[in-house]
Structure 1
Amino acid sequence: MSSSSRSIIPEPLRRLPWAVLSALGALTIFGSTVLYSAAGGRLGPWALIHFIHFVVFAGLAILVSRLSRDRLRQAAYPVYTLLVVLLVMVEAVGKIGGGSQRWLNIGFMNLQPSELMKPAIVLVMAHFYANLPPSMIRTWRALLPPGMLLAVPAALVILQPDLGTALAICFGAVVVIFMSGVPVWWFVGGGLAGAIIAPLAFFFALHDYQRKRVMVFMDPESDMLGSGYHITQSKIAIGSGGFFGKGFGNGSQSHLEYLPEKHTDFIFATMSEEWGMMGGLFVLFIFFVVLFRWGMGVARRAPDRFSQLLAAGMTATMFFYVAINMMMVMGLAPVVGIPLPFMSHGGSSMMTNMLCVGVLMAIEKWSRVGGSLN
């Protein structure tokens, strides 16, 4: 960058990770292109608003990146409490869609508080373990309070019902708990307990449609025109794309309305049919650069315990989105309603992921300036 450019562009803007933001911008534009095609060559109702969401929430991420370490830590419990209240409001007055009650209408968008709980639970867990004395890391005090903090939002989300989001909330929290250094045998014991509880939960806790999803995951061909329809059509779309795809605007599965949720949960299948394996590799490359090269790099360079746990948890939260969505559309995981970051249409999902990016940018700044506010 030339000296004249440095004098024009403010210092805080120059220090932003523009390579990462540019990569995410390219992925979002690619997602808008896929949404444009899925809508039959129209910017509405998905493509244009998808890009606008990215621009607006990129601005939000930049604002979050300006926060100091102390200010973010102070916000942990108030933000958590606010989101729990919003989850309770969802149960009382929330908007119903697709058989679930998950959204609050706030005018310019339908807000899904459970989405925002994903980064919030990571923040509150990182704050808790950063304050926990090392002598208590192997006692019940290291597990019971965070377990209660996790159980409340997870239970409220399951009631909506939204098993996929509840699992995502639990995943981010468990990653932070694991990274905090608690005894590994706790996780081994938890795994054994889960193996015992899972069959009971399958028969007595899951809704009928959730049990069907698990059974269809095990054998999609058993009900290809019923419960297995989503996975079957998704596999057809991905497989028919081949290496280079059918070409932009030529996706028969999405254009002929065979592929359900073509603009949200199954956007990767929509993309793969038209762009093929090359499009899939591009998407994977962007996520590799952002999550593993940058996100985990920020966690390794973080200046203190709170920052390390927070960065690892935020990166893990975005990774869960990517891994579960791609496994889901390829039939490697049950269909649980997890969108693909920066590709799927949806304001709440974009907000959540950009908040994670903003927090990572803040931690990267703390590594340079010692946690003070620019």
Structure 2
Amino acid sequence: MYYTTPNSKVGSIFGTTKDELEAPDRSSDQVLLVTIIGLMIFGCLAVYSSIAFFAQSHETTAVKLVSGHAIKLVIAFFVMVFVSKINYRVLARFSRAAMVLSWILLIIMLGYGDITWGAQRSLSIGSFSFQPTSFAAIALIVHVAVLLYEKQEYIKDFKRAFLPIMFWVVVTFLLIATEDFSSAAVLMGICILMMFAGRISIPQISALVLIGLIGGVSMIYISPERQSRIDQYVAQITEINNQDFETSEGYQAQQAHIAIAQGQLFGVGIGKSTQRDFLPAPYNDFIFAIIAEEYGIIGAATVIFAYLLILYRGVAVIARQAPDILGTLMALGCTLLISLYAFVNAGVATGLFPVTGLPMPFVSYGGSSMLFAGAMAGILLNISRHIANIKTRFYNG
């Protein structure tokens, strides 16, 4: 991932010089930028097709809802552009403060959050509503990258390196998993991969994996709803005609499968979905099923290819060629969060994973999740502005 050379910088983010903090006069990764813009535009079409029934049941129109979605996309785009102009090392300096703030917001959410679909996942301030989980996810990724970067000289030390990192990861996991287990599980997996890339020892990583598995099983055990989802997931694999498909999560999975089956190769056509009237949250959690129904396997595969391209550019290009370990780890974490959310969303619709509540970044209808996805894309674009001539540094340094 990252090749250490005499020019590679390892140390404290507060020791960065003024010249290093100045934004280089280079363009960002154009392939990544065009792919994200393409997903945003396509997302507007997908939301417009999937939100008609929801609009009717809430006494509004699809045009109004899509207009609101488009405005949020524009804001997310400008957030992405704004963050791409800020040196990622500057953002890293505020990671600890962002983590503390995210914990405060998560605790407030657990006590006073709005209940949606049976879970407290959002906070409302006047007419503004947002999900603290989205903020906590990006804050944790940046802070884990900072800790790994600063502790490289003694990265194998259990007390000085592993325990401090594990503290932030485990506490954040517990705060998020209480109401949003799927997001917490994905975030835990990303942190483990970042720790592997950051040279944490395998036995220590194995210990964190074990802690994560124990915590995950415990979270499932204490929640009848999560147990139901797991049972239904197993049932849909082992018993195709299982009667549980008529209710709850089984019903959602069944309607998603029907939508995908109706799409076949080329789809039923834009705006001609029928399953949008039966699927819960077809504009968000199950938007991939509507895409597969209207655009067919070809359209669905094109969307997956777009996220694979983001994964490739983020990991194989930006993270691999970043000028320092901090850039490598931040790029890795942001890329994985964007792409894994998309893959899990698609996996739920196709029956590969149990039903979860993860949106498809830049495509699903949403607010705060879209803004923070834009922020993560901005971080990637900023890091990409620093990679010119890095190959020469790696191999000739």
Q: TM-score, normalised by structure 2?
A: 0.83
The residue identity in structure 2 corresponding to 1:223 is D
1:163 to 2:170 alignment: no
Residues 109 and 347, structure 1, Cα contact 8 Å, conserved in 2:
no
1:2-51 Cα deviation digits (max 9, x unpaired): xxxxxxxxx98972334432322222221211221223395434322222
* Residues 114-129 of structure 1 mapped to structure 2, 5 A cutoff: 114-129=133-148
Cα distance in 1 for partners of 2:260, 2:125 equals: 36
Residues 65 and 361, structure 1, Cα contact 8 Å, conserved in 2:
yes
The residue identity in structure 2 corresponding to 1:229 is Y
Q: CA RMSD in A?
A: 2.4
Q: Which residue of 2 aligns with 1:260?
A: 280
Q: Which residue of 1 aligns with 2:349?
A: 329
Query: How far did 1:184 drift?
Result: 1.9
1:366 to 2:386 alignment: yes
Q: Which residue of 2 aligns with 1:31?
A: 43
Q: Which residue of 2 aligns with 1:307?
A: 327
Count of aligned pairs between the two proteins? 355
| Residues 351, 262 of structure 1: alpha-carbon distance in 2 compared, 3 angstrom cutoff | same
The 3-state SS of whatever aligns with 2:104 is helix
* Residues 14-163 of structure 1 mapped to structure 2, 5 A cutoff: 15-40=27-52, 43-107=62-126, 109-159=128-178, 161-163=179-181
Query: Structure 1: where are the runs of 5+ without partners?
Result: 1-10
Cα distance in 2 for partners of 1:192, 1:28 equals: 38
Residues 269 and 294, structure 2, Cα contact 8 Å, conserved in 1:
yes
Q: Which residue of 1 aligns with 2:393?
A: none
Cα distance in 2 for partners of 1:278, 1:89 equals: 44
Query: How far did 1:271 drift?
Result: 1.2
1:347 to 2:367 alignment: yes
Cα distance in 1 for partners of 2:349, 2:214 equals: 28
| Residues 55, 140 of structure 1: alpha-carbon distance in 2 compared, 3 angstrom cutoff | same
Match of 2:300 among 252, 277, 280: 280
Q: Which residue of 2 aligns with 1:225?
A: 246
Q: % of aligned pairs identical?
A: 28
| Residues 237, 176 of structure 1: alpha-carbon distance in 2 compared, 3 angstrom cutoff | same
1:243-288 Cα deviation digits (max 9, x unpaired): 001111221111xx21111111000001111111111122012112
Q: TM-score, normalised by structure 1?
A: 0.87
Cα distance in 1 for partners of 2:217, 2:106 equals: 28
| Residues 13, 210 of structure 1: alpha-carbon distance in 2 compared, 3 angstrom cutoff | farther
Match of 2:262 among 222, 226, 240: 240
The 3-state SS of whatever aligns with 1:354 is helix
| Residues 51, 12 of structure 1: alpha-carbon distance in 2 compared, 3 angstrom cutoff | farther
Query: How far did 1:187 drift?
Result: 3.5
The residue identity in structure 2 corresponding to 1:27 is L
Query: Structure 2: where are the runs of 5+ without partners?
Result: 1-22, 54-60, 237-241, 391-397
